[in-house]
Structure 1
Amino acid sequence: MRIWIDFINTPQVSFFEPLIEELNALGHEIVMTCRDSSNTVQLLNQKGWDFQVIGSGVKKSLLSKLIAFPGRILDLRKFLKNKKIDLAVGQSSFYLPLTARSLKIRSIYTNDNEHALGNIPSFLFADTIFLPSELSLKKALSQGASKKKITQYPGIKEGIYLWKKALNIKSLREKNKQNKIYIRPEPVSAQYYKGKENFLDKLISELSSQYQVVVLTRGTEQANYYTRKFQNNVTVPEKPLDFLTVATDCLAFIGAGGSMTREMAILGIPTISVYQAELLDVDRFLINEGLLVFAPRITSQEVIDFTNKTENNLNKSEKILEKGKTAYNLLKYSILGNTK
């Protein structure tokens, strides 16, 4: 079978990694396309995968995104039309369902962000809609999703690709001393993000006087800003760090939204969300489970207190990771069942 996967942002690389490995082992061929945004191309190159870059990131404004949208679909069609694709699978790629429908290819679309406007056309044109059980079905239906198309999986998206790695990470954390605070700034280019920018400067400055602080930026512009701002007393990696490095070395994680914050939380790593916009349903789920602390205006002293008294959440995460295993198999069988 020949399966097309489209990557439009960094979290999708981790999401599809175990599926790509298993599908390749089963003899299926994966055709990959990528939008050059954030650290996506760098991460794909690190995996050593063969992929085609089509399109780049666009400005945050809705108008800019709408103007760029049809152009990338036309470019995707041109690249794919003679590739004899059997099935298209995308995680939050709004381009994929429309492109697939125009080429008469069946598609599976999954997303865990109920605020993304791109869900509206994606729900309409996708053949199968794969959603986490923790995302409100009512919200999905309000964006045009058909009940007949929806498959709900247990838990949250991050469990789908982390359940295999969890035991190894737990073992490494028990052996190593965690001494760094990792901070992930806000998703400035995302259409759904309406919060503040560069609001973490004071917190980073104060924490860096007591801890090793690593700022995991979302692109070149953000990396340049933090490198200039903090110069030598804060680490701003030039390339995306290996996930295992972050997870095993992380004393505490502070995230201003996005998948990485949830990744750390479901692994039981002390995690604080400082997200400045409306929370997603999946984030509320982790907060209610006690795996994520939501403190959008947290002070450096509160972070210090948190790292000193926080309990080990590794055992709490096991139930969610077990759901992730079930969800992974559900998605895999959905893919295999849709191919011919």
Structure 2
Amino acid sequence: MKIWFDILTPKQIMFFKPAISILQTQGHEVLCTSRNYREANELSRLMGLNLLMIGNHGGSDLYDKLFQSSKRIMKLAKIISKFSPDLVISFSSPEASRVSFGLGINHIGFNDSPHAEAVARLTIPLLTKLFSPSVIPISAWKKYGISSNQVIQYKGLDPVAWLSRDIDETTFRLNGRKRPRVGKDFEFLKGLKIDHSRKTILIRLEESKAAYISNKNLRVRPLDLVDFVVNNFADNTTIIILCRYPDQITEMSKRFRNKAIVLRQVVDGVKLLRNIDIFVGAGGTMTAESALLGKPTISIAPIQFYIDDYLRKIGLVIQASSPLQIDKLLKSFLDDEQECILIQNRAARILNKMEDPIEKLVKYVSTIDKK
């Protein structure tokens, strides 16, 4: 069978890479496309995933988003028509949705972000099947025009797809169960000019150019909390800031000169998380990764996410919406080693019980292949 993957973000690279490898091993012919987008481009090279770059990221401007998406659809239509796949798989790519629908190709889509309304409205109604974590109610998807029998749920979160496979690096086995590996990789930290002798706080900035951020009133202004963390904790800890866009890197480098390490290169996010002490996240994916790796994790997400809500419910993430809250949480995590160990153990137990979405995908593809 010929399968087209459209892979647009760093998360999607991590998520789909194992599926691509498995399906190729099974004899399927796979074409992987992406777009020119800094983090995805560099991470694909880092992960050894060969992507055909078609089109560009539209940025934050609505006209630019429309223009770049339209151009990309036209280019993809020619390429995909020639490749003639039997199946399309994406993480709700609007361009893959339009092209697959226009060419009459079945499209399997993954999505864990019903809050991203623009993407959902452009993709969900056109999917053959939608795969989604079971912590997101099917009602959250039905409003976008998909029926219940088209939604396939899995009892886990998306990072399980890569965390469960990173056994050598991320975990070791004890009594047949995966456990987080402890200890820091000093060479890795040295390469990033991070002092391994100090406690470290990693901050991941928000997806500022996403439509679901730029078009809404926010419950939290993440940068205000980032300012507080840097200004109040930089003297005794190492603050690392991981940006998403070049302009964020420029702005943060000027704003926190000599106070924080603003990473300019794209790094292996899992490896970075393994080597820090506390994570503060304004987005979704890395917050979930950190939580499932058992790191003390604080969410400063500017809008409400189903995944964040679930992680808070099971005690792996704590929400902070004010300087007072984040100050108290950081001091507690920095001082209470026993609490950090308890969090790590709780995360290991939860991760072991989660269902792998890639196994679910591969099994479903095998049923199609037999028809």
Do these two structures clear the TM 0.5 threshold for a shared fold by scoring above it?
yes
Q: Does 1:184 align with 2:204?
A: yes
Please report how far the alpha carbon of residue 229 of structure 1 lies from its aligned counterpart in structure 2 after TM superposition: 1.8
Please report how far the alpha carbon of residue 181 of structure 1 lies from its aligned counterpart in structure 2 after TM superposition: 1.2
Output the CA distance in 2 between the equivalents of 1:41 and 1:318.
31
* Residues 68-107 of structure 1 aligned to structure 2 (within 5 Å): 68-107=68-107
Structure 1 residue matching 2:153: 3-state secondary structure: strand
Q: 1:272 to 1:222 in 2, by over 3 A?
A: same
Q: Does 1:29 align with 2:49?
A: no
Per-residue deviation, residues 64-107 of structure 1 (Å, max 9, x unmatched): 43344332211211222111312111113222222112122211
Corresponding residue of 1:215? 241
Please report how far the alpha carbon of residue 245 of structure 1 lies from its aligned counterpart in structure 2 after TM superposition: 2.4
* Residues 90-129 of structure 1 aligned to structure 2 (within 5 Å): 90-117=90-117, 118-129=119-130
1:158 and 1:262 in contact (8 A); partners too: yes
2:57 and 2:68 in contact (8 A); partners too: no
Farther-moved stretch of structure 1 (67-76 vs 5-14): 67-76
Letter of the structure 2 residue corresponding to residue 174 of structure 1: V
2:229 equivalent among 203, 210, 213: 203
Farther-moved stretch of structure 1 (320-329 vs 87-96): 320-329
Output the CA distance in 1 between the equivalents of 2:353 and 2:104.
33
Output the CA distance in 2 between the equivalents of 1:255 and 1:91.
21
Per-residue deviation, residues 45-79 of structure 1 (Å, max 9, x unmatched): 21232221112222324454334433221121122
Count the aligned residue pairs. 339
Corresponding residue of 2:299? 273
Task: Point out the structure with the larger helix share.
Answer: 2
Q: Does 1:308 align with 2:308?
A: no
Corresponding residue of 1:157? 158
1:187 and 1:258 in contact (8 A); partners too: no
Q: Does 1:285 align with 2:315?
A: no
Output the CA distance in 1 between the equivalents of 2:159 and 2:116.
18
Output the CA distance in 2 between the equivalents of 1:284 and 1:144.
24
**Structure 1 unaligned runs (5+)?**
none
1:9 and 1:38 in contact (8 A); partners too: no
Structure 2 residue matching 1:53: 3-state secondary structure: strand
Per-residue deviation, residues 194-226 of structure 1 (Å, max 9, x unmatched): 333633223223222111111111011111111
Output the CA distance in 2 between the equivalents of 1:265 and 1:167.
19
TM-score calculated relative to the size of structure 1: 0.92
Corresponding residue of 2:133? 132
Please report how far the alpha carbon of residue 163 of structure 1 lies from its aligned counterpart in structure 2 after TM superposition: 1.6
Corresponding residue of 2:175? none
Q: 1:264 to 1:97 in 2, by over 3 A?
A: same
Q: 1:84 to 1:324 in 2, by over 3 A?
A: farther
Please report how far the alpha carbon of residue 306 of structure 1 lies from its aligned counterpart in structure 2 after TM superposition: 2.6
Per-residue deviation, residues 133-192 of structure 1 (Å, max 9, x unmatched): 001211111111111211111122222322222574244742338732111011101111
Output the CA distance in 1 between the equivalents of 2:250 and 2:280.
20
Corresponding residue of 2:19? 19
Q: Does 1:250 align with 2:251?
A: no
1:106 and 1:338 in contact (8 A); partners too: no
1:215 and 1:236 in contact (8 A); partners too: yes
Farther-moved stretch of structure 1 (141-150 vs 225-234): 225-234
2:155 and 2:355 in contact (8 A); partners too: no
Output the CA distance in 2 between the equivalents of 1:76 and 1:95.
8
**Structure 2 unaligned runs (5+)?**
173-179, 186-195
Letter of the structure 2 residue corresponding to residue 113 of structure 1: S
Per-residue deviation, residues 111-144 of structure 1 (Å, max 9, x unmatched): 0011112212312111111111001211111111
Please report how far the alpha carbon of residue 319 of structure 1 lies from its aligned counterpart in structure 2 after TM superposition: 4.5
Structure 2 residue matching 1:188: 3-state secondary structure: coil
Output the CA distance in 2 between the equivalents of 1:78 and 1:203.
49
Q: Does 1:48 align with 2:48?
A: yes
Output the CA distance in 2 between the equivalents of 1:323 and 1:106.
31
Structure 1 residue matching 2:278: 3-state secondary structure: strand
Please report how far the alpha carbon of residue 38 of structure 1 lies from its aligned counterpart in structure 2 after TM superposition: 4.4
2:154 and 2:355 in contact (8 A); partners too: no
Give the % identical residues.
26
Corresponding residue of 2:191? none
Q: 1:302 to 1:247 in 2, by over 3 A?
A: closer
2:297 and 2:317 in contact (8 A); partners too: yes
Output the CA distance in 1 between the equivalents of 2:223 and 2:106.
41
